[in-house]
Amino acid sequence: MEFEAVIGLEIHIELNCATKLFCDCPNNPGDEPNINTCPVCLWFPGASPRLSRAALEKAALLCLSLNAEIQSTSAFDQKVYYYPDLPKGYQLSQAHLPLSRGGWIDITDEDGSVKRLRIHHIHMEEDVAKLVHEMEGRKPVSLVDFNRAGAPLVEIVSEPDFRTPHHAMEFLKALRAQVRNVGSSECSMENGTMRADANISIRPKGTSQMNTKVEVKNMNSVRHVGDAIAYEISRQSAAVQAGEKIVLHTRLWDPEKKVTTPMRAKFEGPCVPDPCVPVIKLSGAEIEALRARLPEMPAVRAERFVKQYGLSAEEASYLSTDAEMAVYFENLIKEGVAARTAMHWLTTQLMPAVKDKRQELWQTSVTPARFAALLKMLAKDEINANAAREVLTHLFESDESPEAIVSAKGFKQVSDRGEIDSLIDKVLGDQPGAVADFKNGQAKALGFLIGQAMQASGGKANPKVIREILTKKLEALCKA
């Protein structure tokens, strides 16, 4: 029997707000344990939660970036359970009246067609504390770090529209691009600012029944989500073929062994309306004001880049995914760099260098103005590509202008024909073997001789001029 999978995702995203959701504590979970705490996030007697407006706005922008419909009324509920990571016996979450309903992401399916994957709803909630299990001698102890308690989260619950691992991975990539683009979160699965759980069930292909699902957790990259879903589909298919019954439970993805294993069932508590956090009312005008703050969406921007700058669809889509990169690209163009040069040097040289130095594009010392000055010298043949790459590494280390670096370090390209001419004569004299090879019709020898001439110039000669003069001289030698 052929099976198809029915997959839905539940995605938690940590908002990059300065403070926690219900108090003014810094939202820096990675700080020294229990530094970022106060009577509210430790839930001391008499403390009273105050909803952060910044968190609400970031959450709402996130919803709008995913085509979701912000609700005029939303409210917090108490998800009741007792666990040491939860300082008050319940988690504040929106169970009955979520911040938004609906929404979708369009992805490109494996056959190239567009597939729309729908979102059921998006709600806000607070994160819980972090538990650290250690041994004090032979006695196991559990330590609680409340820095993360009360951190602002949103949870995106999709419709079960996904059928393949590809759908889930493409959905997550597009989601990350769109949310990063509005600036609500970094959405890094590796750093834990985005966590995705998958609900997977299978059914005979072509039927519409909904069978018992299995939840899979603990994937910390988009790739792992795809792998875990693929594994789970084959595991369930094999189980059903063998006549086993699928039971509702949760499994953990093991990235080492690349398998899912069952985990102990977590107690599901009830959700009761919270009487302390005020109900959130958003008027149509307020929602429109938020919508007006939305930046250009990646897909729209990519289309514009194709039209405006003549980039290919792939190039435009790659540049548009990252809002910072797209902005940087357009700044280079404003500085007078040709679109193709800007695209090529930004994506193949600057981005890897920035990443390598663990910097962010918006705060690197290689500003669009400095990088553009370098690329313009390249365009005018004042330096060659090798030199440009060298100068780029210097740009990271000093505040000097590219022009100053080029003249100080002697990167200026030599295009003087007389100088190159004598250089080539010397190379031809030193390499009679290569000249003989060329005469015998071995075209490779030309490349070798160009390289030798380049080396002789200390990498500064204009390669075009070398090739031109060398070719002429070799042809003359052949005729002689």
How far apart are CB 342 and other proteins at their closest, in Å? 49
Residue nearer to other proteins on the CB measure, 82 or 362: 82
Instruction: Tell me how far apart the alpha carbons of residues 463 and 443 are, in angstroms, rounded to a whole number.
Output: 17
Q: Residue 239 belongs to what H/E stretch? A: helix 222-241
Q: Is the dihedral of CA 421, 427, 430, 433 positive or negative?
A: negative
List, in sequence order, every residue forming a beta bridge with 197; answer none if it has no partner.
10
How far apart are CB 268 and other proteins at their closest, in Å? 10
How far apart are CB 180 and other proteins at their closest, in Å? 31
Residue nearer to other proteins on the CB measure, 81 or 104: 81
Interface pick for other proteins out of 39, 262, 310, 433 (rule CB under 8 A): 39
Residue nearer to other proteins on the CB measure, 42 or 456: 42
Stretch 143-172: interaction string toward other proteins, x if CB under 8 A = -x----------------------------
Residue 154 identity (one-letter amino acid):
V
Neighbours of 22 (CB within 10 A): 25
Interface pick for other proteins out of 30, 110, 116, 142 (rule CB under 8 A): 142
How far apart are CB 127 and other proteins at their closest, in Å? 17
Instruction: Tell me how far apart the alpha carbons of residues 45 and 42 are, in angstroms, rounded to a whole number.
Output: 9
Stretch 77-96: interaction string toward other proteins, x if CB under 8 A = -x-x-xxx--xxxx------
Residue nearer to other proteins on the CB measure, 79 or 115: 79
Residue nearer to other proteins on the CB measure, 74 or 236: 74
User: Is 97 one of the binding residues for other proteins (CB under 8 A)?
Assistant: no
Q: Residue 26 belongs to what H/E stretch? A: none
Instruction: Tell me how far apart the alpha carbons of residues 217 and 229 are, in angstroms, rounded to a whole number.
Output: 10
Interface pick for other proteins out of 11, 25, 43, 224 (rule CB under 8 A): 43
How far apart are CB 87 and other proteins at their closest, in Å? 6
Residue nearer to other proteins on the CB measure, 140 or 432: 140
DSSP H stretches of helix in 310-443: 313-321, 323-334, 339-345, 351-356, 368-379, 385-397, 402-409, 417-430, 432-439
Burial (CB < 10 A; 0-12, 13-18, 19+), residue 386, is middle
With CB under 8 A as the contact rule, which of the stretches 35-43, 353-361, 364-372, 447-455 interacts with other proteins?
35-43
Dihedral (Cα; 362, 363, 368, 371), 10-degree rounding: -130
* Residues from 355 through 374 that contact other proteins (CB under 8 A): none
With CB under 8 A as the contact rule, which of the stretches 74-82, 118-126, 163-171, 456-464 interacts with other proteins?
74-82
Stretch 244-273: interaction string toward other proteins, x if CB under 8 A = -------------------------xx-xx
Residue nearer to other proteins on the CB measure, 89 or 433: 89
Interface pick for other proteins out of 192, 204, 262, 278 (rule CB under 8 A): 278
Assign 3-state DSSP to the chain and report helix, strand, coil percentages, each to 5.
40, 20, 35
With CB under 8 A as the contact rule, which of the stretches 76-84, 181-189, 257-265, 334-342 interacts with other proteins?
76-84
Pair of tokens at residue 118: 């729908």
DSSP, collapsed to helix, strand or coil, labels residue 356 as helix
Stretch 44-73: interaction string toward other proteins, x if CB under 8 A = xxx-xxxx----------------------
Locus of tokens 């949310």: 179
Instruction: Using alpha carbons only, give the angle 62, 64, 67 rounded to the nearest 5 degrees.
Output: 120
Residue nearer to other proteins on the CB measure, 43 or 171: 43
Instruction: Tell me how far apart the alpha carbons of residues 208 and 160 are, in angstroms, rounded to a whole number.
Output: 12
Pair of tokens at residue 408: 């100080």
| Neighbouring residues of 140: CB distance < 8 A, sequence distance ≥ 6 | 133, 134
Residue nearer to other proteins on the CB measure, 5 or 75: 75
# chain residues binding other proteins, by CB under 8 A: 30
**Interacting residues with other proteins (CB under 8 A):** 39, 42-46, 48-51, 78, 80, 82-84, 87-90, 142, 144, 269-270, 272-278
